Structure 1
Amino acid sequence: MQEYSEKLEDIYDEKLGRHLVASLSIEPGETLLEEQPLLVAPHWECDRLKCAQCLQESYVICRRCQVYPLCMDCSAHDAFECEFFASGAGSGIGKDLLIKNYGICALLKLLLLLEQPDQRAQCQILLERPVKLEDYRNEDGVWQEHEEQVVRPIMESGLAQVLPDQQLTSDALHAHCIRIDTSAYEVTARDGDTLKGVYVRGANLPHSCVPNTVVALDEQFNLKLYAAVPLESGQIIFTSYANPLMGTSQRQHQLRMTRHMECACVRCLDPTELGTHMSSMKCRDCSDGYAVCDLGGTGNWRCLDVSCGAVIPAADVHELLAEVGGALVDAKGELSAYESLLAQNKQLLHPNHFLLLDIKQNIASILRAAALMNSLNDPCKKLLARRVELCGDLLPICRAVIPGISKLYAIALFEYLLSFVELTELQFSEGDVDKKGYAAQLKRAQSVAKEALDLLQFEPENSAEGFLTERIAMELERIESDLMKYGKH
């Protein structure tokens, strides 16, 4: 099921294919699209059986079809799928099909949906999207993964013979796998495992690293797309399929690997990345200069200070980034390793560089756990102060890279809020601040909580962000209670 806003128009052009544009002015927060997933399934590499009904881990098999897993709480699953293997066309297929090859689950669901007249139209929207197999065939990893885990097991199972109308070949199955991958968002099951939900429209919008919409997913995996910024008539509706906290070359690599596309959005074309300098290097020749990539020329990094103009060869930059990236992997949660990395590389990279942000996020996460473990000891204050500083460093970056209504920024505000409130309360309890100072800091916390709630107000109640809204509202209530008590002087 798909429901579109009356303020959208569905159009087609050769560059973007079928896409949506605003036909009237749209305010931030207005719902643009609501869509149920075509299918939800585990990732290809999943080797643990999941219940066909609720998608939680399962160790038993449906008694009727003897093919699909069911958990102890679910007594049935999709009637067509069950009938197909119980007494329909697929009754002769081996009953251990999914036990031996659970990676085929997503593609199997699509093939059986195509057999159902009432589902075929939705599937057809997906299948109409052209796939250039030659762009994928020689890739390391993805093609081989599909071949070994999905395509070959299905071809050897006999399914192609019992679904003759679909004219299934190895290439046709590979194309189906690619369409599934490029039409999916990662969704979270009730047990916390990640799955992929396939959305024929919501996951096929044009990409921009500076999106003008927000994607929300509830507990039932229903998708809601709403405007992040004001939209004028004629504006294209964009979403983002890249990690906004990556640098430009890393985002573009991610998009090439997952979407086979090149991005030329305003952020990708700006060497300063909207003024954030998330890929900028410290100049080697001048004390205050920063070097940015020459995007339209050599690809080298050149100092922005015109009086300097020093150049850092692209090969040197890539070598450094690979070295730091490898050290991040090797750090394996060790606080001292992350702190050492930060100290070593802040002399080489811009303070907002995406690798330094990654290091800081890892440190902040470790400090959060350490502060909880040492809550009765004095060092907790130092740990919290450090975490407040690190979380604060992330806020302006999150605000800059995702404009308007931003879940990324809201979550960053929440992380900052937790540490700030904990530190403030500890400082007050130990006499480091008086009532007046405590009230002033509480007002700051109140402002942060309200800003986060304002950004999350359009999220579904039964979503992860909806539950986060409840958590922030409880924190705000506690803050305002203390303000009533200590804010009067």
Structure 2
Amino acid sequence: MACVTEDFAKKCEIKQNEMLGRFVVAATNIKAGETLLLEEPTLVLPNVGDRRCSNCHKLTNTFCSKCQLLSLCDECAQHETFDCTRLAELKAQLQQEEDVQKLQTHAEIGLALKCLLLRESQEKQRQFEQMLQMEAHLELRRGSEIWCNYEEQVVAPLQAAGLLAHFRNGDQVNADLLQRLLGILDVNAFEIRAPERESAMRALYVRAGLFSHSCMPNLMAAIDDERRLKIYANRFIAAGEILYYCYTNVLLGTEERRHILKTGKYFDCNCARCLDPTELGTHLSSFVCATCACPGGYVVRQPGSGVWQCLLNAEHTLKPEFVANLLERAKEEIFHAKDDIYRYELLLAKLSRLLHGNHYVMLDLKQNIAAILRQILQNMAHRPSRKVYERKIRLCQEILLVLKVIQPGISRLKAIALYELANTQAELARKLYSEQEYGADELLAELQRTEIMLRESLRMLLYEPIATPEGNLARCMLRELKELQEDMKLLLVPSVGKAN
């Protein structure tokens, strides 16, 4: 059952207008790091096309032997008792056995059934009513490809089986209601980690769904291993400010973020970052102008026009088709170079003649290279050279420069990048000390600088829920910080003796 803490009622005020619909403002001044909402999910669901166990949420192709309408893996004996019992009662109303088999064919039918089951339960009816108040963009979706897919794969099979009439207020359970419920899931659900970690699933949070979007948000959203969502402030927020979190990946370029928001959430983002062709000077979407020979010759997309134009000379332009094709080819090459650091580096050098060093495709490459370097440095059998450490340090610094602009407050991405930088700098300093290239004073000075970075990284990660990868990293960092301080104490002893 969904649970919401009192923080939301005390610190947040729901408002409504024509442009934003329902939105939330700060009811009082809110400090950086302060929690505004802790919420358990109303529904936990697979992504469209997936079929997952209704109990453990692992991928499966089998069904509950009792209700036969919801998925249940071989390792789980049962799922939620009310849902199973009620669906078994509804299934008994079906005239033909093959109707069950037809309903099992389409995974999306399970999404609709789980929504409708909320209204069947006395305990969860209020959650169903709250869910219906969420935005579905029904008219914008009507007749679209996804609408037609749901019509074919959900609405028509349920109507043909005659199952809908046996739900509570069955005369109201029509095609529009089903499309509305499925639209609410598509528009409002949060991506969450699946049990197998490398893939994702979805969860619906009715309170968190009220917060508006900005590519420069004042809120952070984090979901722990129990699927409980935490919303907290990433900076000081004054009473009356609109509360925003980011619906997309902040490390994407403007055109990509806006496309995701338009096709999935049905609105155009007009935040300060989206309206600035240079993305606040980060150039996350900028191309190198091949015609200009001087620094600063970057081709950017002019907001609202779709024209790609050089900042120094408006006559120098790129065709949108060229931009789209180049990016598509670059992404394909990155995909095919998977985990090959030499191909990544060659591709980075090649693309640097076409893309700004901070372009989101370049940042993706840099993150991939840094991840491989991390593995190399963790395995001392590789005997990494000084250049390997320095390469990773440089990559972390370049990524951090971008993150400091687009996520200026508390940021888990910034904290992780800062940790990677600090950790690598400390290990390089220890290596140089062991090889007698650094003296004790030089090592101590480097470790002191590292300590400052580690403390800043840890300060940001301590706001993350404990039962998350970031929470686990924070615990590891606490141990590393203690070890670092012990090393510094040992280095200080001879320094103190020398001074006396």
TM-score by length of 2: 0.87
Distance 1:5 1:469 in 2: 30
Residue of structure 2 in register with 1:13 after alignment: 17
Sort the Cα spacing of 1:105 and 1:452 in 2 relative to 1 into closer, same or farther, 3 A: farther
How far off is 1:264 after superposition?
A: 0.3
CA distance in 1, matches of 2:68, 2:163: 16
Q: Which of 80, 83, 90 is the matching residue for 1:81?
A: 83
Q: 1:111 to 1:380 in 2, by over 3 A?
A: farther
Q: Identify if the C-alpha distance between structure 1 residues 99 and 418 changes in structure 2 by more than 3 Å, giving closer, same or farther.
A: farther
SS in 1 for 2:272: coil
- CA-CA distance at 1:208 after TM superposition: 0.5
Residues 196-211 of structure 1: pairs in structure 2 closer than 5 A: 196-211=202-217
1:235 matched to which residue of 2? 241
Aligned counterpart, 2:110: 105
Shift in Å at residue 484 of structure 1? Answer: 1.5
Q: Distance in 1 between matches of 2:338 and 2:148?
A: 29
- Offset, 1:469: 1.2
Aligned with residue 290 of structure 1, among 297, 300, 303: 297
1:11 is paired with a residue of what secondary structure? strand
Whichever residue aligns with residue 29 of structure 2, its letter is S
Counterpart code for 2:392: R
- Deviation at residue 213 of structure 1 after TM alignment: 0.6
Give the TM-score normalised by the residue count of structure 1: 0.89
The answer to whether the aligner puts 1:430 opposite 2:435 as a matched pair is yes
**For 2:356, what is the secondary structure of its paired residue?**
coil
Output the CA distance in 2 between the equivalents of 1:191 and 1:130.
Answer: 30
Q: Given the superposition, is the C-alpha separation of residues 365 and 153 from structure 1 closer, same or farther in structure 2, using an over 3 Å criterion?
A: farther
SS at match of 2:487: helix
SS in 2 for 1:253: helix
The amino acid that maps onto 1:84 is: R
Of 482, 485, 495, the residue aligned with 1:477 is 482
1:37 is the counterpart of 2:36? no
- In the alignment, the residues of structure 1 paired with residue 436 and residue 157 of structure 2 have an alpha-carbon distance, to the nearest angstrom, of 68
1:441 alignment counterpart: 446
Given the superposition, is the C-alpha separation of residues 407 and 377 from structure 1 closer, same or farther in structure 2, using an over 3 Å criterion? closer
Counterpart for residue 415 of structure 1: 420
CA–CA separation in structure 2 for the residues paired with 1:5 and 1:381: 54
The answer on whether the counterparts of 1:41 and 1:196 sit within 8 Å (CA) in structure 2 is: yes
Please state whether the residue corresponding to 1:187 is helix, strand or coil. Answer: strand
Q: Secondary structure at the match of 2:123?
A: helix
Within 1, Cα distance between the matches of 2:162 and 2:456? 57
C-alpha RMSD of the superposition:
2.7
Are 2:134 and 2:209, in contact at CA under 8 Å, matched by a contact in 1?
Answer: no
Instruction: State the partner residue of 2:254.
Output: 248
Which range is displaced more, 263-272 or 357-366?
A: 357-366
How far is 1:136 from its partner? 2.9
- Conserved in 2, the CA contact under 8 Å of 1:40 and 1:106? no
Once the two structures are superposed, the pairs formed by residues 367-378 of structure 1 within 5 Å of their partners are 367-373=373-379, 375-378=380-383
Q: State the match for 2:469 in structure 1.
A: 464
Amino acid at match of 2:37: L
Higher deviation after alignment, 284-293 or 310-319: 310-319
Rounded to whole Å, the distance in 1 between the matches of 2:315 and 2:155 is: 52
Do the aligned residues in 1 keep the contact of 2:69 with 2:110 (CA within 8 Å)?
no
**Mapped contact 1:399–1:409 kept (Cα < 8 A):** yes
Asked whether the equivalents of residues 213 and 225 of structure 1 are also in contact (C-alpha less than 8 Å), the reply is: yes
Q: In the TM superposition, what is the alpha-carbon distance from 1:176 to its structure 2 partner?
A: 1.7
Q: Distance in 1 between matches of 2:282 and 2:245?
A: 20
Counterpart CA distance in 2 for 1:427 and 1:399 is 29
d(CA) in 2 for partners of 1:145 and 1:471?
46
CA distance in structure 2 between the aligned counterparts of 1:430 and 1:157, rounded to whole angstroms: 76
Counterpart of 1:455 in structure 2: which amino acid? M
Match of 1:382 among 362, 371, 387: 387
From 339, 347, 352, the counterpart of 1:346: 352
> What letter matches 1:183 in structure 2?
N
Contact preservation (8 Å) 2:219, 2:245: yes
Q: Distance in 2 between matches of 1:301 and 1:43?
A: 35
**How far apart, CA to CA, are the structure 2 residues paired with 1:427 and 1:170?**
69
SS in 1 for 2:56: coil
Residue among 53, 56, 65 paired with 1:54: 56
The aligned residue for residue 322 of structure 1 is 328
Q: Supply the distance in 1 between the matched residues of 2:65 and 2:366 (Cα, whole angstroms).
A: 51
Contact (CA 8 Å) 2:299, 2:318: kept in 1 or not? no
The offset of 1:481, in angstroms, is 1.7
Match of residue 2 from structure 1: 4
Q: Does 1:263 align with 2:269?
A: yes
The partner residue of 2:179 within 174, 180, 184 is 174
Q: Could you tell me how far apart the structure 2 residues matched to 1:227 and 1:79 are?
A: 38
Structure 1 residues 13 and 70, CA gap change in structure 2 (3 angstroms): same
Percent of aligned positions with the same letter in both sequences? 34
* Distance in 1 between residues matched to 2:149 and 2:420, nearest whole Å: 37
Of residues 440, 452, 459, the one that matches 1:454 is: 459
Provide the rounded CA distance (Å) in 2 between the counterparts of 1:99 and 1:310: 58
Q: Is the 8 A contact 1:277 1:350 kept in 2?
A: yes
CA, structure 1 residues 176+480, in 2 after alignment: closer, same or farther (shift >3 Å)?
Answer: same
Asked if the contact 1:44–1:104 (Cα under 8 Å) also holds between the matched residues in 2, the reply is: no
Matched residue SS, 1:419: helix
Partner deviation per Cα, 1:453-489 (whole Å, 9 max, x = no partner): 1112222222332212112212212211211222442
Deviation (angstroms), 1:388? 2.0
SS at match of 2:44: strand
3-state SS, counterpart of residue 33 of structure 1 = strand
Tell me whether 228-237 or 150-159 shows the greater mean CA deviation: 150-159
Letter in 1 for 2:247: Y
Task: Identify the range of structure 1 (181-190 vs 248-257) with the bigger mean alpha-carbon deviation.
Answer: 181-190
Residue 218 of structure 2 corresponds to residue 212 of structure 1:
yes
Quick check: 1:403 aligned with 2:408? yes
How many residues get paired?
482
Tell me the alpha carbon deviations over residues 309-368 of structure 1, each in whole angstroms, 9 at most, x when there is no partner. Answer: 552234343443333233223323332322122111212222211111111112222222
Supply the distance in 2 between the matched residues of 1:480 and 1:146 (Cα, whole angstroms): 59
Kindly state the Cα deviation for residue 66 of structure 1 after the two structures are TM-superposed: 4.9
Q: Structure 1 pair 352/58, CA: closer, same or farther in 2 (3 Å)?
A: closer
1:432 to partner: Cα distance: 3.2
Taking a change above 3 Å as real, the CA distance of residues 385 and 143 of structure 1, as seen in their structure-2 partners, is: farther
Alpha-carbon distance between aligned partners in 1 of 2:372 and 2:193, rounded to the nearest angstrom: 24
Say if 1:206 and 1:237, in contact at 8 Å, map to a contact too.
yes
Contact 1:398–1:409 (8 Å) recurs in 2: yes
Determine if contact 1:68/1:98 at 8 Å carries over to the other structure. Answer: no
Q: Does the CA-based 8 Å contact 2:192-2:201 persist in structure 1? A: yes
Shift of 1:182: 1.3
Q: Which runs of 5+ in 2 are unaligned?
A: 496-500
Q: Which amino acid aligns with 1:280?
A: S
Q: 1:395 to 1:296 in 2, by over 3 A?
A: closer
The answer for unaligned runs of 5 or more in structure 1 is: none
Q: 1:18 to 1:337 in 2, by over 3 A?
A: same
How far does residue 132 in structure 1 lie from its aligned partner after superposition?
A: 4.1
* SS class of match (1:195): strand
Which whole-Å CA distance do the structure 2 matches of 1:321 and 1:59 have between them? 37
User: Per-residue displacement from partner, 1:430-451 (whole Å, max 9, x unpaired)?
Assistant: 3332222222222222112111
